[in-house]
Structure 1
Amino acid sequence: GPHTIHQYAPLDVPRYVAGFLEHWKPDLAVFAESEIWPNLIMQSAARGIPLALINARMTKRSFRRWRRLPGLAHPLFGRFTVVLAQNEALARRFSALGAPCTLSVGNLKVDAPAPPVDNAALERLRLALADRPLLMAASTHEGEDQVMAQAHRALAQSLPGLCTIIAPRHPERGGAITEMLKGQGLHVAQRSLGILPDRSSEAYVADTIGELGTLYKLAPVAFIGGSLVNRGGQNPIEAVRQGAVVLTGPHWQNFGDAYDALIRNRGAIVVHSAEEIAAAARQLITDQAELGSMRQRADAALSKISGALPATITALLRFLPNEEGLVRAS
């Protein structure tokens, strides 16, 4: 907006940080998630600038490392005026490291708007695919694309015309994925080459950035990657917001609160193999009533853990001399 300025943060080197703070003279410094920059934190605190860590998270591994260094951790985390953690367990970790005021307010990503949909592109894909059954794999990591190819072959036996969409986490892998799928005898269309799927396409490699919202709107079922291989999982919230029912592998600790809520409320399905992906997708694609029920349960699950955004804004406003200015900027 007109009240927002983008400026890269300085390298965390004392003289660069000093110049940055002297130039901008901030009233409040806000850090997000696990971004801990010691020089920026210490110099900001020395200048009397309030420090907030929002949507705060820390892995168990990082916590163990920091606990071994109390002489470094406590002076550093003790400089934060407030830490707004994603859940109670994380709030306790930051408190144990010396943060004087920690609150559990939830995950800001739950309150994020649905990812954008390109309606023109969506219509082109719908026309090209002509009401064929669809299965999507989003944000896949190396090793998961082969599993999706196996799931496709198993599922295609009972769902003629199936097209599987693979959107890799790292688009630069698109060429290798396409070659792997072709090597398994599948007809493949590759998005980065400007090729739309047609009636002969069995797989569509969506190796571009910024189109997940459109693809989630298109496909009724989405496997979310980084979860069969242990990368901690990727964001399921965007899929739910656009109406795709979520399948996930067993490794989803990066988005634990969201997945806990979804799985507990039967709004997502945990799978461990190509066979389980195929079985779950078959049930959902062929049973529209169950597909609709899972969508409703997923929406309800995320609604129960929403609210981090207003809580975060309320907490930050009290540190600013001009609350009205922040409201306009937001």
Structure 2
Amino acid sequence: MSDRWARSILRSYGWAGAAAYPFVGGYMAWRASRGAEDGPRRQERYGKTAAKRPPGPVIWVHAVNESETLAVSGLIGRILSLGLNIVLTTGTVGSARVARERLADRVIHQYAPLDIKPAVSRFLDHWRPDLAIIAESEIWPTTILELGARRVPMVLVNGRMSDRAYEGWRRWPLLSEALFENFSLVSAQSERDAERFSSLGARPVLVSGSLKTDVEPPPVDELELRRVLGQIGNRKRWAALCTHPGEEAVAANVQKLLAARFTDVLTVIMPRDARRSDAIEAELTALGLNVARRSRGDKVEEKTHILLCDREETGLSLRLADIVFYGGSLFGGGGENPIDAVALGSAVLSGPDHARCNDIYGPLVDKGGVRLIKEKEMLAGAVNYLMRNDDARHRIIDSGTKALETMRGALDVTVRGLEPFIHPLVVKAKLGTGVVHRR
């Protein structure tokens, strides 16, 4: 395959997308009907928006899912501290929730335009970004080529390349080079990732480590936290966070078993998808448990067995207990990132499946900062043991804190790598209108 042929294929991809554009609406409407798209904001996926571009330099940061949005939140905080404007795009309803929780109105949030030329062009015409920062592995040909054609510098941060993706790109070396050469910098999570990006045509490439470990815990309304803790009082409690289907029933069983040993025990449950809350409440109530729901403003009373945290307040849920089980780890969900709970000083428990977060769990487990539960029947015993044994609980907490410190540093490396791209924008902002957009 010649270089000319590779570029011809990429142009054909763009033309095919443009041809399909008129027919995308039905598919997007179907996704919205299933909750996979934010219906009222669906037009943003076509590059349309009612939001105004702020004066001065604008940096476009893109992170498609919840994990990627969480990972770049610390980097976004650093950039915001320099007085620059950020348009953050995400691809899912869940990632939009993370953006609201972590960044509130400090950024302009938009849903990412579809990788179809009319949508991407409309988005870029409106926002006119001075720099594009893309998270992890978001390689969208039309978007990359459009940015390249407009000479907008592109940086891939927290870059990773899975075995499957690498093998796929390696079959088409000229095609991959025609895309990856558009990046001004790739900041990779590991040496292996860096080697893969380099072999596919990216230049230059640096190794930063994972931004996931440099994330600050989500903020919390301190007054509301004190109010809820006042309702809970001195009751023994533990939390099951980011639970997937089936894990709420496991948590309910733990609550029942613990109640035989502690007369005042409380279980805090925060489902990964709050839209399941009605079904979860019905399931728990059928098991004879009294449920208080945050979405209803229910108080935690003496008779309450379960506090169901079904509002966008992860920061509060994380701070209600110092024994935390992370869901998605018992029935094939791939696990959830435990960094927040570790950073806040909780003893973290997880099931055996943490494939999506192996890079995080590996060092924590090795150093004793997370205790793994081999099967669901062991969870009640582990929680019971940690409730009764302060020394064991604090050993896990202390080990987690020390392990986390050794895992951090990627944010500083990434910021240093970005400095040649960001510093001119800071100067430009200061020499421009003098008006810096703050939200």
Task: Provide the TM-score with structure 2 as the length reference.
Answer: 0.69
1:206 matched to 2:309 = yes
Q: List gaps (5 residues or longer) in structure 2.
A: 1-79, 88-107, 431-435
Deviation of residue 157 (structure 1)? 2.3
Q: Which residue in the other structure is 2:85 paired with?
A: 4
Distance 1:89 1:229, change over 3 A: farther
Distance 1:192 1:24, change over 3 A: closer
The letter of the residue matching 2:362 is D
- Counterparts of 2:429 and 2:401 in 1: how far apart (Å)? 28
Which structure 2 residues correspond to residues 156-167 of structure 1 after superposition, within 5 A?
Answer: 156-167=259-270
The letter of the residue matching 1:146 is A
1:195 matched to 2:298 = yes
Contact kept, 8 Å, 1:138 with 1:167, in 2: the verdict is yes
Deviates more, 1:81-90 or 1:245-254: 81-90
Distance 1:208 1:22, change over 3 A: closer
Which structure 2 residues correspond to residues 277-292 of structure 1 after superposition, within 5 A?
Answer: 277-292=379-394
The letter of the residue matching 1:144 is E
SS in 1 for 2:414: helix
Q: What do you get for the CA RMSD once the two structures are aligned?
A: 2.5
Contact kept, 8 Å, 2:187 with 2:205, in 1: the verdict is yes
- Counterparts of 1:247 and 1:239 in 2: how far apart (Å)? 10
Q: Which residue in the other structure is 2:182 paired with?
A: 79
Deviation of residue 190 (structure 1)? 1.6
Contact kept, 8 Å, 2:160 with 2:188, in 1: the verdict is yes
Which structure 2 residues correspond to residues 165-184 of structure 1 after superposition, within 5 A?
Answer: 165-184=268-287
1:152 matched to 2:252 = no
- Counterparts of 1:193 and 1:24 in 2: how far apart (Å)? 39
- Counterparts of 2:184 and 2:213 in 1: how far apart (Å)? 24
Deviation of residue 315 (structure 1)? 0.6
Number of residues of Structure 1 aligned to a counterpart in Structure 2:
329
SS in 2 for 1:167: strand
Deviation of residue 117 (structure 1)? 2.4
Q: Which residue in the other structure is 2:157 paired with?
A: 54
**Residue 273 of structure 1, aligned match among 368, 375, 386:** 375
Deviation of residue 193 (structure 1)? 1.5
1:97 matched to 2:178 = no
Q: Which residue in the other structure is 1:135 paired with?
A: 238
Deviation of residue 35 (structure 1)? 2.2
- Counterparts of 1:19 and 1:216 in 2: how far apart (Å)? 40
SS in 1 for 2:85: coil
1:251 matched to 2:353 = yes
Distance 1:323 1:179, change over 3 A: same
- Counterparts of 1:64 and 1:225 in 2: how far apart (Å)? 31
Task: Provide the TM-score with structure 1 as the length reference.
Answer: 0.90
Contact kept, 8 Å, 1:84 with 1:102, in 2: the verdict is yes
Q: List gaps (5 residues or longer) in structure 1.
A: none
- Identical aligned pairs, as a percentage? 37
Deviation of residue 278 (structure 1)? 1.3
Contact kept, 8 Å, 2:330 with 2:376, in 1: the verdict is no
SS in 1 for 2:319: helix
Q: Which residue in the other structure is 1:309 paired with?
A: 411
SS in 1 for 2:235: coil
1:215 matched to 2:317 = yes
Deviation of residue 24 (structure 1)? 4.8
